[in-house]
Amino acid sequence: MMFPSLVILFWVLGGVTTVVVALRIFAKARIGRLKADDATMMIAWVLAIVASTLFTIAVHYGYGQDIWELDFDSVVHVFKFYTITQACVIGSSTAGCVAFILYLQAILGGEMKHRIILFTLAILEVTFNAVSIILIFTGCKDLQSTWNKGLPRGCLTVPVKYATLTFKPVRPLLLASCFCEPRSPTYTLYLTDCSSLIAFNTAVDLYLVIVPTCIFWGLNLRLGVRISLIVLMSLGLFAMAASLAKTVSLKDITSPNFTGATSNLVRWGLVESYIVIITASLPCIRSLVVSSIHHMTSRQQHTNLDFVCFNGASSAQGDRSSMSEPSRQSHC
């Protein structure tokens, strides 16, 4: 099955992300430059790890199996952990993006126009995604009815009854699991809102790739340094690609077999979060990597020099010994 493989993928990405974030914190602490962007990135990392944990629990309860193969309690647990996972994924991606914006603001904030644009992007990113998370948990009057369909409804979406189930799944609007009739007004509104939000996040990712690239190219730096910075900034294109893939997967959330059909949405959502954290942290550890390479190179040079000097001294000492031996013999 693909779902255990997704669990493995998420934890491998989680391990890589943990190493990258640890190196970022070490590199910034080493030069005494720990700032708000680092704290924000730590929040993004924690939320991504929590999302991976919750997804693992959801798989344990049956996420990935056909919904008609699960009992009612298992379905409730799957919906609950899936819903909270989605909220954590949104929060992680948002925090990672904001951390990168704060990092760029420290670098590109010399001009007022850049400061205003970056500050505006950060505010909009937090506002739109925070509203999405709030609506996930406030779409129903009772929070438990968000994932427990045995409770009284009162949610924002149109219920649809599964042929093999005795309960009516109802989900909150926006970025939760929307079980609406296809082509219904609620379904159309849901896809419009989700698509608009993802389009905004994708546009922000694209801006954070193009603008810093153009600015770094115009700086008076060595060509190798400029190219390395541009390559690091361009890695954000992978996050944008994951965001676009998530848009394509939106249609899966209306599938009657929700627990078995929404893997792509989960996959690309969490992959995007990890990519954002990794790509936004790599520029911060560039100086650490460069200094480590220089340190290893200088150590190797010193080792070679010591080897040459030691061998040279030994050879010279041997020559002096061979020259002094006849002298001692003639003296005797």
Greatest mean pLDDT among 70-79, 146-155, 212-221, 289-298 lies in 70-79
121-150 pLDDT per residue, tens: 999 999 988 988 888 887 777 777 777 766
- pTM value is 0.74
Interatomic CA distance for residues 56 and 3, integer angstroms: 9
Interatomic CA distance for residues 261 and 254, integer angstroms: 9
User: 3-state SS of the chain: helix, strand, coil percent to 5?
Assistant: 80, 0, 20
59-82 pLDDT per residue, tens: 988 887 877 788 888 888 888 898
Interatomic CA distance for residues 253 and 177, integer angstroms: 6
Which of the 8 DSSP states describes residue 140?
A: B
Q: Which of 185, 193, 188, 186 lies closest to 171 in space, CA to CA? A: 186
How many Cα neighbours within 13 Å face the side chain of 183? 0
Q: Which of 91, 35, 88, 83 lies closest to 63 in space, CA to CA? A: 83
